[in-house]
Amino acid sequence: MSSKAKRFWTPGPVIVGAGPSGLAAAACLKERGVPSLIIEKESCLASLWKLKIYDHLQLHLPKKFCQLPYVPFPREYPAYPSGQQFITYMEAYANHFEIEPLLGQEVQWAKYDAAMGRWRVKTHEYEFMCRWLIVATGENEVPVLPKIAGISEFRGRLLHTSTYKNGVEFRASKVLVVGCGNSGMEISFDLCKNGAQVSLVVRDKVHILPKKILGRSSFAISVWLLKWFPVDVVDRFLLFCSRLVLGDTKQIGIQRPKMGPLQWKNSVGKTPVLDDGAFAKIKSGEIKVVPGIQKFTAKGAEFVNRTVKEFDSIILATGYRSNVSSWLKEASLFNQKNNNNPQDSYPKNWKGKNGVYSVGFARQGVLGISMDAHKVADDIASQWNSETRHLWLDS
Ligand SMILES: Cc1cc2nc3c(=O)[nH]c(=O)nc-3n(C[C@H](O)[C@H](O)[C@H](O)COP(=O)(O)OP(=O)(O)OC[C@H]3O[C@@H](n4cnc5c(N)ncnc54)[C@H](O)[C@@H]3O)c2cc1C
Ligand SMILES: NC(=O)C1=CN([C@@H]2O[C@H](COP(=O)(O)OP(=O)(O)OC[C@H]3O[C@@H](n4cnc5c(N)ncnc54)[C@H](OP(=O)(O)O)[C@@H]3O)[C@@H](O)[C@H]2O)C=CC1
Ligand SMILES: O=C(O)C(=O)Cc1c[nH]c2ccccc12
């Protein structure tokens, strides 16, 4: 099969993935005069947002922190755009920069050919040869489905948050949500508003912060404070405000890590929950916090404290991982020990050896994507300007 693949030499970089990272990288390169080619496995751009996001999702950071390079969100957009508005924005972004990804082509493997001095990027139909490869396949590509004992015995409905759309079909039913990240909290809230009886598994320590403090985004306040104060001081401020707004989370069975929320995010990579209403439902008892699962049973679950409960549905809000190890054959940037994330931690994680780069693996959301895209484009453009342009003009 591989011998039949049509081969192409691309002058500029090949970008794998047409999500926000791929689009931002292509736009930044274009602004610097460097052409690029995006290869996308799905039949659309922004596939995470089009295929895996629930109906009521709003960006949890204010819009100025979620815009891609050069193009602000439309003025009429609300402070926290919806998932659909973010999709519309990305479509317009691609049109603006005339970015036309090659759709429906999954990259099966990419490896560096030292003899050619080129990356070989293979899809089912094509093989591309390029000087630079940009990995933009995202930190949230593959749903994490934990191997919990008895999971195949459960006779009710079992799904991951990536296929959850809304709570309507769960009305009046008993639902167990496994995992207390932003997905687990927001989906629990949605289910609760739709009349489901919700239990939420919190197996370990977690930081919950109010989305807003005195009407202002707690994330925006943190970014502002970080200009003047070290991160541990900002963390203490966030914890103080959280205590005032939410109360003591320990009293309802949710313990905080010893480290503050921003330090926790930077060192462990776990995003604090930005609470937008679920916590009040936990406090009122409408959402019940339950401990880790010992095993699933045909009708429900047994928990580590030996209690047993029945459920109609189980929703795994257990997060996502990257798929890079399945297709990228290189070890300078991504390694398995580090959960397939770039091995140098932020902010040194965007450049590997032989012309491989990453955009969107800094665990910093869209803001991190924009920063990576500029740095990667600057680096490639300086090489493009000094060597490649002459080669192509001469030939
Ligand atoms: C539910 C949810 C809500 C979020 N909300 C926010 C938010 O409010 N603010 C924020 O800053 N961040 C948020 N994030 C984080 C979010 O993942 C990123 O900000 C953003 O989508 C990452 O963009 P990306 O382009 O790096 O990855 P993705 O959006 O995942 O795009 C990667 C693309 O690569 C493609 N791809 C993967 N493998 C291959 C392959 N082998 N060959 C070809 N194509 C491939 C995929 O199909 C996909 O289109 C959220 C994440 C989730 C899951
Ligand atoms: N509105 C928005 O903008 C939203 C943004 N997001 C973002 O999307 C990304 C993904 O979020 P999310 O999908 O919540 O994933 P996360 O990885 O953030 O959270 C997964 C949760 O599942 C728990 N978990 C994993 N395995 C098990 C298990 N076997 N038993 C019990 N609990 C388990 C984890 O607990 P533990 O810590 O113990 O491992 C963790 O609390 C994040 O960056 C998030 O901020 C998500 C939703 C909405
Ligand atoms: O949505 C995400 O997962 C993000 O990574 C956005 C983000 C970056 N830094 C943060 C600190 C606190 C809460 C969210 C984020």
Ligand 2 closest atom vs CA 318: 22
Ligand 2 closest atom vs CA 271: 45
Query: Ligand nearest 234 Cα, by number?
Result: 3
Ligand 1 pocket mutation, candidates 43, 122, 140, criterion most atoms within 8 A of CB? 140
Mean local confidence (pLDDT), 326-338: 79
Ligand 3 pocket mutation, candidates 49, 57, 59, 60, criterion most atoms within 8 A of CB? 60
38 CA to centre of ligand 1 in angstroms? 15
Query: Ligand nearest 61 Cα, by number?
Result: 1
296 CA to centre of ligand 1 in angstroms? 30
- What type of residue sits at position 287? I
Ligand 2 closest atom vs CA 319: 15
Ligand 3 closest atom vs CA 265: 11
68 CA to centre of ligand 2 in angstroms? 24
The residues near 73 (Cβ < 8 Å, ≥ 6 apart) are 63, 64, 66, 67, 81, 85, 89
162 CA to centre of ligand 1 in angstroms? 12
Sign of the torsion formed by the C-alpha atoms of 14, 16, 17 and 21: negative
Q: What is the pTM of this model?
A: 0.95
User: Which stretch of DSSP H or E encloses residue 137?
Assistant: none
Listed by start position, the domains of the chain span: 6-141+320-393, 143-316
pLDDT tens digit sequence for 27-70: 999 999 999 999 999 999 999 999 999 999 999 999 999 999 99
Q: Is 181 in the pocket of ligand 2 (CB under 6 A)?
A: yes
6-141+320-393 and 143-316 share one CATH topology? yes
Q: What is the DSSP letter of 357?
A: E
Q: Closest Cα to residue 189, out of 215, 216, 161? A: 161
Confidence check: pLDDT of 287 > 90: yes
Q: Is 157 helix (H, G, I), strand (E, B) or coil?
A: strand
Q: Is 317 in the pocket of ligand 2 (CB under 6 A)?
A: yes
Residue 26 Cα to chain centre, angstroms: 19
CATH assignment, 6-141+320-393: 3.50.50.60
pLDDT tens digit sequence for 128-173: 999 999 999 999 999 999 999 999 999 999 999 999 999 999 999 9
User: Which stretch of DSSP H or E encloses residue 31?
Assistant: helix 20-31
Mean local confidence (pLDDT), 9-33: 97
**Reported CATH class of domain 143-316:** alpha beta
Q: Give the residue whose CA is nearest to atom 1 of ligand 1.
A: 53
Residue with the larger pLDDT of the pair 392 and 386: 386
Confidence check: pLDDT of 3 > 80: no
Mean local confidence (pLDDT), 78-104: 98
Query: Ligand nearest 363 Cα, by number?
Result: 3
Q: Is 320 in the pocket of ligand 2 (CB under 6 A)?
A: yes
Q: Give the residue whose CA is nearest to atom 15 of ligand 2.
A: 319
Confidence check: pLDDT of 1 > 80: no
The pLDDT assigned to 92 comes to 98
Residue with the larger pLDDT of the pair 179 and 389: 179
Parallel, antiparallel or unpaired: strands 300-303 and 308-310: antiparallel
Q: Which of 4-18, 117-131, 274-288, 379-393 has the lowest mean pLDDT?
A: 379-393
7 CA to centre of ligand 2 in angstroms? 40
